[in-house]
Amino acid sequence: MKHAPLVDQLIHAFTCLPGVGPRSAQRMAYALLDRGREQGRRLGDALHAAMDGVQHCQRCRNYAEAELCPICESPKRDSSLICIVATPADVLAFEQSGEYLGQYFVLMGELSPLDGIGPRELGLDVLEQRLQGGEIRELILATGTTVEGEATAHYVLDIAQDAGVQVTRIAQGVPMGGDLEFVDGATLAQALKARRPFGS
């Protein structure tokens, strides 16, 4: 004897989410059934709407509901300046800083040959064509500092140099407003190596 079949189906469906095992899935199903049916229906609607309505921007690969995302469509953004990031969350972080007025290219991952993620999966063939096209002036690398992030950064550097496009990388160093004692050794070593003249 188990739960009512619809309850079991719901619990099973929840386990497709990252970080959700059978126990949390059961807790989620109970919570919605016991005191959140309306929220449950809303989540169901949101899932269908997003699964069917969200595509990737043809230009920058970020999530979009039309062929182009709002950033790629905006005439206010400098389309000759492209920042390379791994995920849509990174775009959000840059946008929240309010400092960046160029456009993005969202890899939706990082190079990881063992997982079958090569340049094509990240759209790097498309980026290469755009670089060859000559309308890009500067490429800013903002991929992560993991092994995969570094490998991806070097691959992009190669194709940009082939196309004669300038490549920069966002500065690595100590975070603003933080106490030095909480900064890890690798970051501190990098901050020391990349020190710059002060007072100039």
DSSP lists the bridge partners of residue 85 as 106
Q: Are 64 and 55 in contact (CB under 8 A)?
A: yes
Out of 81, 108, 151, 167, the residue judged to bind a copy of itself by CB under 8 A? 108
Give the residue with the Cβ less far from a copy of itself, 19 or 164.
Answer: 19
Q: Distance between CA 179 and CA 122 in Å, rounded?
A: 37
- Which stretch, 34-42, 145-153, 154-162, 164-172, contacts a copy of itself (CB under 8 A)? 34-42
If one asks whether residue 151 binds a copy of itself (CB under 8 A), the answer comes out as no
- Which stretch, 30-38, 130-138, 142-150, 171-179, contacts a copy of itself (CB under 8 A)? 30-38
Give the residue with the Cβ less far from a copy of itself, 97 or 200.
Answer: 97
Q: Are 190 and 172 in contact (CB under 8 A)?
A: yes
If one asks whether residue 122 binds a copy of itself (CB under 8 A), the answer comes out as no
- Residue 118 CB, shortest distance to a copy of itself, in Å, is 16
- Which stretch, 44-52, 135-143, 156-164, 173-181, contacts a copy of itself (CB under 8 A)? 44-52
Q: Are 160 and 167 in contact (CB under 8 A)?
A: yes
Q: Are 172 and 184 in contact (CB under 8 A)?
A: no
- Cα 153 from chain centre: 14
The residues near 183 (Cβ < 8 Å, ≥ 6 apart) are 174, 175, 191
What residues make contact with a copy of itself under the rule CB under 8 A? 1-7, 9-10, 12-14, 16-20, 24, 26-34, 36-37, 39-54, 63-65, 69-71, 87-89, 91-92, 95, 108-109
